[in-house]
Amino acid sequence: MRRHRIQKRLAAYQDGEVSGKERERIAAHLEGCLACRSAYAELEQAWQRLERIPEIEVSAGFERRLFDRINAVPEPRSRWRVPWVSWIYRAYPAPAMAAVLLLVGTVLGGYLGNALVSGFSSAPAQVHGSRVGTDIVSFRVFSAAPPGTLGDGYLRMAHFTEEVRK
C-alpha cells in the first residue's frame, strides 16, 4: 500500500477496525516505513495523553435537563408568509426560480430598454401644447429593428428616400 493510504487508515488500525488481511499489510508497512511508523507513534502518544485527562463528573439528571433545553428552543419560522408560495418553491424549486427570473428579467428589460431607447425614438409626438414628448411603447425594443439601432436608421433612411422620390 502507498504511504498516503496507510496514514489514512492508522486510526482505524489502532482501534482494531480493520480486517485481518489489511491489518497484516499495515503492520508489514509500518515495519519498513519510518514516516508511517512515526505518524503511528504520534497517534499513540495522543491517545495516551487523552487517557490521562480525568473524567468530568456530571450531576444527576444532566442529560435530561440538556435535552429539555434543546427541545425548548422553538423551531425557526419560515421566511415565507404565503403558504402556497412556500409550497410551490419547495415542490418545484428550479421552475419557480426560473419563473421569478423570467418575470424580473422581462420587467427590468422593458424598463431599461425603454429608458435607453427613449432618446432615440423615431416617433416624436406632439403632447398638449408646445411640449414635445416621445411615444414609448413597452416592448418596442423587441421589434425587428429596435429604435436607435443601425437597422432602424437604415429603414428610416430608405423610407425618407422613397418619400423624396414621390
Flag whether pLDDT at 97 surpasses 80.
yes
DSSP structural state of residue 126: E
Residue type, 54: P
The model carries a pTM of 0.36
pLDDT in tens, 128-158: 444 444 444 445 555 677 777 887 887 777 7
165 or 66, higher pLDDT: 66
101-129 tens-digit pLDDT: 999 998 888 877 777 666 554 444 444 44
**CA–CA distance, 145 with 151 (Å, rounded to integer):** 5
What is the average pLDDT value for the chain, to the nearest integer? 77
Q: How far apart are CA 146 and CA 33, in angstroms?
A: 74
pLDDT for 2 equals 65
The mean pLDDT value for 83-105 works out to 79
Each domain of the chain, given as residue ranges in start order, spans 3-52, 122-166
Dist. CA 121–CA 148, nearest whole Å: 7
At 71, the amino acid letter reads N
Q: Which grid cell is 116? A: 435607453
Share of the chain above pLDDT 90, in %: 14
Looking at residues 31-52, what average pLDDT do you find? Answer: 90
Residue where the block lists cell 427590468: 108
Q: In this predicted model, what pLDDT tens digit does every residue of 8-24 receive, in sequence order?
A: 888 888 888 888 899 99
Instruction: Return the number of other C-beta atoms located less than 10 Å from residue 10's C-beta.
Output: 19
Position 83 scores a pLDDT of 63
Per-residue pLDDT, averaged over 82-105, amounts to 79
Task: Tell me what percent of the residues of the chain surpass a pLDDT of 70.
Answer: 69
For residue 162, is pLDDT > 50?
A: yes
